[in-house]
Structure 1
Amino acid sequence: MKKSNGHQIIELFEKWSPKRLAFEGDPVGLHIGQLNRPVDKVLVTLDVNEQVIDEAIENGASLVIAHHPPLFRPVKSIMTDTPQGKMIEKCIKHNIAVYAAHTNLDIAAGGVNDMLADRLGIQQTEPIDITDSEHLMKLAVFCPLEDADAVRQKLASAGAGAIGDYQACSFSSQGTGRFTPVAGANPTIGEVDQPTLVDEERIEVVFPESQQAKVIKAMFAAHPYEEPAFDIVKMQQKINEQGIGRIGQICKEMTLKEFGQHVKDVFGVPALRFVGDPEKKIRKVAVLGGDGNKYITAAKRKGADVLVTGDMYYHVAQDAQTLGLAIVDPGHNIEKIMITGVASKMTDLCKENKLAVEFIESTVITEPFQFLS
């Protein structure tokens, strides 16, 4: 195992939960400090406050990974006699960096909403609402027959030609290439000012749009020509669809009242609110961590019997009732499930990459609400 710095840890984290998945305007990324210092302990937390930073100091953690951004709105001043100012001051004094992954961690495969769905026993899940996808691209490149295998292999090593459970997929056709090198050229085949005919192969591969630069670089590295002839086409087909929330089936039908008790038990909340007939049958369940007020229509459109989410507004609850969609609101704080989930995932990723990092789960209670029974 080797020592690590903040950049290496966050690089691994962002391969799992890339910032590009975050909603527009969501302030994800580094909030306080810097990442170019050594890190051997990381504290994982839902929220960041002064008590959490005290916990990081006590445990010797020099990096905090949080779900909720501590600086959600622009800061015009840092007054160190305010709670936020004290928290920032302690981070700076103790060289603690704070990194936030919010809606990108909600959307990422294996992220917050998948963790919630798994805990509830929801199977065969899909997003409630698609928020990110990319086009499939097609590359067609022409090269001499004797170099075709090398070009195909290099493209495959860059990820081109991956289709479902198949790798290195390509299509080839043969023909004759014609060109005339002019003054200044250094042709691999042929001579300057002499028309040249070459038996060539046209290689076609598909790849995700996000991999275009890597695929083109691989093509140039393997191709023998100074000026390879190639086409790139953006296809209508979209791939790698990801989105917010999850919806699927639970294995056993329950009444809404029974399901509400199930939610209460699995998340360990002292109380919850629900909307709908207590005897309504529940089989198809949608879940969205945090504030799910904007997604009642999408959940209903997907066929959900109930939406599990937090911070439900009074009038939105009435709208859901009118739609015939049951609501179970166990509160926003159930997203604390990400503490154990992120710590476990990042421990595995760091071990795979031989980085000596310990991930510590925050035990600070950040739930602001208390309940009277």
Structure 2
Amino acid sequence: MKISELYAQLDKLAPFSDSEAWDNTGLLVGDMNAQVSGVLTALDCSIETIDEAIDKDLNVIVSHHPLIFSKMANVNEEGIGQIVRKLIKHDINLIAMHTNLDHQPDGVSHMIAKRLGYENTEILLQHQGNFKKLRVNITVDDKEEFKENMLNTASLGRMGDYSDVSFEYPVKGQFKPNDQANPTLGQSGELEFVDEYVLEFIFDGRDIKDVVSNIYKYHPFEEPAFDIISIDRKRDSGLGVSFECQTTLEDLKEKIEEIIKRPIVNLVKANDKAINKVGIIGGSGMSYAVEAFKEGIDVLITGDVKYHEAYDAKFNGQNIIDAGHYLEFLMKDGLKELIEKNIEVEVFASEISTNPFE
């Protein structure tokens, strides 16, 4: 398997196009034409992480946090330059899956929840989708071949966990070709009546050029009749997860500490109510707290909580568990499992701690 092939498979698991505009994801250091010897999943790429990959004879590190964020003026033995140099020296490829992985239903927040023992999660803050519906007229005789070609080659027909989705219904069509037309059916200047079907497919609006191109490629008519309609529908991706549980704030805090093997950073105890629904936003999630609590959660688990954010949360009756940004280290095993499940490649989870507070 080449790096390019691995990259394409990772893109299916967590599309890099789902990354935030400010983010820096994808192949940060490496060669798309190189062969993959194995993968190491990590939260961060440090010198020690590279040594671990070398020891295991792995030439791909898939990290959550991007090594390169801001503009680099030089690459030398200072700062992250020494890490970049070591990656290149040992032909190790570095791929970052950051906010694109955060936004998936089985992404980082789900991986954290799973390690806490809660596998049945739902997206906490679901994204509004840019969905379109294609409606295209096709003759009865050409319907099945056209439908098959569109589903096999165009980026459409996917709804959640289902593929090859389409709808169809019969209609009557009519047209009159002019003198310059070159009709597949009928004669110039004569009104033609045709038994047709309307085929309907849903697709991501970002793929509109691909879809239209394939209509003209596979439709037998010189001028296909089709409509593209915008749909107000949520995407199957978003930020954070939620899950149902019956516990107390103190018991949940102790459970987290038991899993991560250290005390949590801070606890905002705003009330003594029972905990029935928990929200998790890995990393720094307090800027989404207002929206998160509107989804009915009783406590938010996140990191990097500032004093005034905690003060406002307590004033508003919102329980917060600040487990630290490094809580995301639980994603190392989760990403390993996700890759192993979907890609035929040897994968290891890093055993190196990159916690800067240790």
TM-score (norm 1): 0.86
Q: In 2, are the aligned partners of 1:160 and 1:207 still within 8 Å (CA)?
A: yes
Counterpart CA distance in 2 for 1:200 and 1:152 is 16
Q: Which amino acid is 2:357 matched to?
A: F
- 1:86 maps to 82
- 1:66 maps to 63
- 2:29 maps to 32
Q: In 2, are the aligned partners of 1:56 and 1:62 still within 8 Å (CA)?
A: yes
- Structure 2 residue corresponding to 1:150, chosen from 145, 148, 173: 145
In structure 2, do the counterparts of structure 1 residues 162 and 289 end up closer, same or farther at CA, with 3 Å as the change threshold?
closer
- 2:251 maps to 258
The SS at the match of 1:48 is: coil
Q: In 2, are the aligned partners of 1:144 and 1:201 still within 8 Å (CA)?
A: yes
* 1:200 is the counterpart of 2:195: yes
Identical-residue share of aligned pairs (%): 30
Per-residue CA deviation, residues 2-24 of structure 1 (Å, 9 max, x unaligned), is xx111111110111111122222
* 1:268 is the counterpart of 2:256: no
- 1:354 maps to none
- 1:139 maps to 134
Counterpart CA distance in 1 for 2:320 and 2:226 is 54
Task: Spell out structure 1 runs of 4+ moving beyond 6 A.
Answer: none
Unaligned 5+ segments in structure 1 are 352-356
Deviates more, 1:147-156 or 1:357-366: 147-156
- 1:188 maps to 184
The SS at the match of 1:25 is: coil
Counterpart CA distance in 2 for 1:110 and 1:143 is 38
Which residues in structure 2 correspond to 1:81-120 (within 5 Å)?
A: 82-120=78-116
- Structure 2 residue corresponding to 1:361, chosen from 341, 349, 357: 349
Which residues in structure 2 correspond to 1:1-373 (within 5 Å)?
A: 4-80=1-77, 82-122=78-118, 125-135=121-131, 137-157=132-152, 158=154, 168-183=165-180, 185-191=181-187, 193-209=188-204, 210-235=206-231, 237-250=232-245, 253-276=246-269, 279-351=272-344, 357-370=345-358
The SS at the match of 2:321 is: strand
Structure 1 residue 127: Cα displacement = 3.0
Structure 1 residue 176: Cα displacement = 3.6
Deviates more, 1:239-248 or 1:102-111: 239-248
Unaligned 5+ segments in structure 2 are none
TM-score (norm 2): 0.89
Aligned-residue CA RMSD in angstroms?
Answer: 2.5
Counterpart CA distance in 1 for 2:4 and 2:192 is 51
Q: Which amino acid is 2:287 matched to?
A: K
Aligned positions, number: 355
